[in-house]
Amino acid sequence: MLVATDLAPAGTRRAAGTTAAGPVVAVQDLVKRFGQNTVLDGVSLDIQRGQMVAIVGRSGSGKSTLLRCMNALETVEGGALRVCGHDVGQRDKLALRELRRDVGIVFQSYNLFPHLTVERNITLALTSVKKLAKAEACEVARRVLALVGLSDKAQSYPEQLSGGQSQRVAIARSLALSPQLMLFDEVTSALDPELTGEVLKVMEDLKRQGMTMVLVTHEMAFARRVADVVVFMHQGRVWEIGPPEELFTRPRTAEFAQFISSGL
């Protein structure tokens, strides 16, 4: 097992609550259990500003659990986790609300409200949580829809969208809250190749703009081509970590070599 936590920054976007030299995400010896099953077993890694970090591994290796811990959707049993300057171990409502203002998360399921237009799906949190005026919220919605290439879908309903369009709306909804960090949990796994390409293009565009991103993915070609850092998880641990070209061309462990040769 190989672990490294001193990876060079690949962008300039500054995360709230971090210093110029500090990581956006700092994970130290993180432990997570479900009953007697240890899902994360001493995970450590740092994620720097502007990096796109792809987490890969077989099902059950702890990838999605680690991602959910970063947004406090799961509690942890041990170790330390600091995200965008927030101590994720704090469980009071104010601390969680402040964390989730800085961290956006997009799942495989789009979770759009079917009875609301695309525009209202995006503006709902802006008006109810951030207390923006309707006109200001609509302007934000217009801006983020343009970012994901869906300016013409503001008045559409989710049932009128393709899977790729729905996923891009979900991304736009998270972007509307101006997060410092975006988390993507296998967001393309339910999409066909053409729609997958639509979503991956949006993520690639976000990277060019300096957004810090962590994605759990099975899209190996995308991870190799676009990610700054690839994290291979195995048996609840960070088994290999480093630049994709280095890892994919010269795997340092038999487990990762077998993983990439299997085409997973």
When pLDDT is cut at 50, 70 and 90, the band that residue 12 belongs to is very low
Exposed e or buried b per residue across 239-258, where buried means at least 16 C-beta atoms within 10 angstroms of its C-beta: bbbbbbeebbeebbeebbee
For the chain, percent of residues with pLDDT exceeding 70 = 91
What is the pLDDT averaged over residues 123-129? Answer: 92
Is the pLDDT at 9 greater than 60? The verdict is: no
Poorest-pLDDT segment among 20-29, 165-174, 213-222: 20-29
Give the pLDDT confidence score for residue 122 in this predicted structure.
97
Give the Cα separation of 154 and 165 in Å (integer): 11
> Which domains are assigned to the chain?
25-110+180-261 (3.40.50.300)
- Average pLDDT score over the chain: 89
Exposed e or buried b per residue across 65-99, where buried means at least 16 C-beta atoms within 10 angstroms of its C-beta: bbbbbbbbbbebeebebbbbbbebeeeeeeebebb
Is the pLDDT at 8 greater than 60? The verdict is: no
Give per-residue pLDDT as tens, 50-76: 999 999 999 999 999 999 999 999 999
Give the pLDDT confidence score for residue 225 in this predicted structure.
94
Is the pLDDT at 40 greater than 80? The verdict is: yes
Q: In DSSP terms, which residues pair with 83 in a beta bridge? A: 25, 86
Is the pLDDT at 184 greater than 50? The verdict is: yes
When pLDDT is cut at 50, 70 and 90, the band that residue 1 belongs to is very low
Give the pLDDT confidence score for residue 60 in this predicted structure.
93
Enter the pTM of the model.
Answer: 0.88
Going by their DSSP bridges, the two strands 25-34 and 37-47 should be labelled as antiparallel
Give the Cα separation of 79 and 45 in Å (integer): 12
Q: How many C-beta atoms surround the C-beta of residue 263 within 10 A?
A: 7
Give the Cα separation of 262 and 256 in Å (integer): 10
